Amino acid sequence: MPAWSIEPPREQKAIDTLTAAFRQSRFDIRSVLRVLFNSSFFKNARFQHLKSPAEVVVGSLRLVGGYELPRPGYGDLSMQPAYMGQDLLNPPSVEGWHTGPEWINSGSLMARINFVAGLVGDPSLPGVRAIIDRLKTKGSLSPEQLVDGCLDLLGPVQVSPETRKELVAQAKEWGQTGWASETSAKTADKRVGEMLQLIVATREYQFA
């Protein structure tokens, strides 16, 4: 979905539908939004939008939990969007930021992947612990089950068949994942953490 300030909307049918809703409702925005949210073109626009740094940071913190209340270290968190290219409340000019693919360069891609991976790789965070515990309830997991379980609990995150194939190939290197003993539980927790880190490093995960 293009950023409106860079590229005009692409779907004329969508524009016409919303325009009609706006007129028929005698210019009521809620009615337009009702039509928009129920439309197939809106639902099909999922995962088309490159997350802004603010979305990456806030979305990740909400996923992993534990940051609901202020605590030491928040100062560094507030700088993370800046490292990814979006210094909040301080755009490069009064015109705001260049968005969309311009969020991505070699440095910012590294910054966003490393930030999210750092969070999802930490099993002490409640959201990550919850993911691990949910997977644990399924017993011993095959590589495919580990990958699909992690994809589901992280989002669900939709990845291409090629990406899934690589994730499964990585899980196959580890074999079966289970929590039957203390030793295997430690290994399993570590494997889940690494799989989560790999998933958030995928191209697909950069979209919302």
Using the contact rule CB under 8 A, the part of the chain among 69-77, 101-109, 130-138, 140-148 near other proteins is: 101-109
The DSSP 8-state label assigned to residue 129 in this structure reads H
Q: Segment contacting other proteins (CB under 8 A): 7-15, 26-34, 90-98, 147-155?
A: 90-98
Q: Is 121 among the residues that bind other proteins (CB under 8 A)? A: yes
What is the C-alpha end-to-end distance of the chain, expressed in Å?
A: 10
Any idea which residue has 């700088």 for tokens?
79
Q: In this complex, which beta carbon is closest to other proteins, that of residue 32 or of residue 159?
A: 159
Residues 122-181 that bind other proteins (CB under 8 A): 160, 162-163, 166-167, 169-170, 173
CB 163 within 8 A of CB 103: no
Nearer to other proteins by Cβ, of 32 and 131: the residue is: 131
Q: 19 to each of 15, 31, 37, 126, 130, how far by Cα in Å?
A: 6, 11, 14, 44, 44
Residue 103, amino acid: W
55 binds other proteins (CB under 8 A): no
Dihedral class, residue 85 (left if φ above 0, else alpha if ψ from -120 to 50, else beta): left
The single residue among 11, 102, 144, 152 that binds other proteins, judged by CB under 8 A, is: 102
Task: Please tell me the distance from the alpha carbon of residue 86 to that of residue 80, in angstroms, as a whole number.
Answer: 9
Binding site for other proteins (CB under 8 A): 50, 82-85, 87, 92-95, 98, 100-102, 104-111, 113-114, 117-118, 121, 160, 162-163, 166-167, 169-170, 173, 194, 197-198, 201-203, 206
